[in-house]
Structure 1
Amino acid sequence: MNITARALLVSLLLAGTGAVVTGCNTKKDIDITKLGVETDPPEMLYNQGLANIKAGNMTEAGKKFDAINQQQPFSEWARKALVMSTFVKYRTGRYDDAVQTGNTYLKQYPGSEDADYVQYLVGSSYAKQIVDVTQDQRAAQQTIEAMTKLVNTYPKSQYVSDAQEKIRFARDQLAGKEMQIGRYYLERKDYLAAISRFRIVVEQYPTTNQIEEALARLVEAYYAMGIVPEAQTAAAVLGHNYPDSRWYKDSYQLLQKGGVEPSENSGSWISRAGKKLLLGT
């Protein structure tokens, strides 16, 4: 920033606070750094930001990076600063801000060398906001969308493996939410509503850690309704895929009490879903 621009900035700031500057003012020069305005060159600000990160002063680091974007938007230093600003906001728990800054970067520089990393930070910011299955799982869905974009857009990225792990976790959460609602209906003997939730898990989330219980709960719900063939099919699919599961043991014993055993009806939707389980899809 040259002397003229610096003087103009000072005058604008002072005007905003009601101060008056005149050409005949004989007071000593004002220290612009005390006004909270970063005036160092972008390269220096960037290095100062890195130094603050290393020292553990994330708040000050964020100020340095944000200052670069304010001074020279769309410059190469601004591009780098956006990456670091996203990182700082993520590390300091400002996840919504990290998502916003990250998405700004991805909109401006979708093909840059750091785009995969920023996409990963966006997905990780959503993942950090995933809550217990008794609560809204919007963050889990957003995690899946952001991390799937990373996997599909940047398949060779070093962050793909962790992105896939976060996708699996988020899918487990969504399946867990369906199970939580399904159990609620089951306890109240609203079997049709319960079955609809367990069916979602079986058909949409077959590779999650909820699948065994979902099949067992279908056995329980269908059996309680007197739809024994469907209960038998659910038990057969469960036993075929997870023969050592405690859920299969419980389902088998339930059917035995009624004098029947697991038996698969190939025309059932459960049987068709079971074939997908074998394929791991």
Structure 2
Amino acid sequence: MPSSTEAHTLRARLRGALCAVSLACALVLSACASDKDEVLPPDEPAEKIYNEGLTLLRQQRPDQAATRFEDVDRTHPYSEWARKGLLMATYSYFEAGKYDEAIMAGRRYVALYPGSQDAAYAQYLVASSLYENIPDITRDQRKTRQALEALEDVVRKYPNSEYAATAKRKIEVARDQLAGKEMLIGRYYMEQRNYTGAINRFKVVVTQYQTTRQVEEALMRLTECYMALGVVSEAQTAAAVLGYNFPDSPWYKDAYKLVSSGGMTPQENKASWISQAFKKMGLG
């Protein structure tokens, strides 16, 4: 058991240690508070942040502008400025060529503000961003289909908007791209003498993408394939439908020459799927 002197000394040391710990804690807390003040900026008015984004846009710095517009939504959520900021962030990302970010921001806008008068524009920016991501015809066309669906949403949901007409033009380009992919595969099958496989691809063009520029060649290739298989009636029908709907097409001249080489002429069999497909579209 320690003496009274030793006990006094121990108590003094303990008080000293506690004071040191208290001082250290105070310094740590002070440092944390200082760091926090440096990391977290003071509250800024939403309008000020938004206008800074506009300034960056005017300075041709859309990437930085998008970040500033996102700051509006982050610091002033659920406000009218947040709504405006999210739309402008979508536009800025699109202008910066950051299409994935534009798609995410635009979809978020449409989900949060479906009744807004700017929802049509947000949806159009989403569709246009997907459109800009359409890959080369030799690659998988999943993104082209996504773009087509988004563009069709613009026309279906906002038919009277100023963006519907432009969306329709882009729809035709996307559809032509998908038809072109079918033609590419069909021609490959023809080279392999897989005429049945080729016919199935050209049939997709004739039945699903009839308004595209690819349909003329598709009818000519059907004439070729059916002639190669000896299915003369279908070859004649393909040539006849091609000639009726596109009489000045160079593809019709080739089809006519091919059928004539077998001692026949283009002649439509109205029971043929080719004839029926065009009747459904009001052609032929």
Instruction: Assess same fold via TM > 0.5.
Output: yes
Larger radius of gyration between Structure 1 and Structure 2? 2
- Equivalence for 1:75: 79
Displacement, 1:277? Answer: 4.5
Count of equivalent residues: 258
Alignment of 1:191-270 (within 5 A): 191-270=195-274
**Farther off after superposition, 226-235 or 73-82:** 73-82
Superposition RMSD on alpha carbons, in Å?
2.1
Q: Please list the CA deviations of residues 43-99 of structure 1 after superposition, one character each: whole Å capped at 9, or x if unmatched.
A: 110011001100112222122111111112221111111101111111111111111
Q: Please list the CA deviations of residues 223-269 of structure 1 after superposition, one character each: whole Å capped at 9, or x if unmatched.
A: 00010100000000000000110000001101111111101011100
Does residue 112 in structure 1 map to residue 116 in structure 2? yes
Q: 1:120 & 1:114 partners in 2: Cα distance?
A: 10
- Equivalence for 1:122: 126
Q: 1:20 & 1:45 partners in 2: Cα distance?
A: 33
Structure 2 unaligned residues grouped into runs of 5+ = 1-26
Deviation >2 Å, runs of 4+: 29-32, 35-39, 276-280
- Equivalence for 2:30: 22
Q: 2:207 & 2:197 partners in 1: Cα distance?
A: 16
Structure 1 unaligned residues grouped into runs of 5+ = 1-18
Question: Which of 40, 62, 67 is the matching residue for 1:63?
Answer: 67
Q: Could you tell me the percent identity over the aligned residues? A: 51
Q: 1:228 & 1:222 partners in 2: Cα distance?
A: 6
- Equivalence for 1:3: none
- Equivalence for 1:53: 57
Alignment of 1:269-280 (within 5 A): 269-279=273-283
Q: Please list the CA deviations of residues 94-113 of structure 1 after superposition, one character each: whole Å capped at 9, or x if unmatched.
A: 11111111111111101101
DSSP-derived class of the 2:271 partner: coil
DSSP-derived class of the 1:93 partner: coil
Q: 1:179 & 1:223 partners in 2: Cα distance?
A: 18
Q: 2:156 & 2:140 partners in 1: Cα distance?
A: 26
Alignment-mate amino acid for residue 49 of structure 2: L
Q: Comparing both structures, which one devotes a greater share of its residues to helix?
A: 2
DSSP-derived class of the 1:22 partner: helix
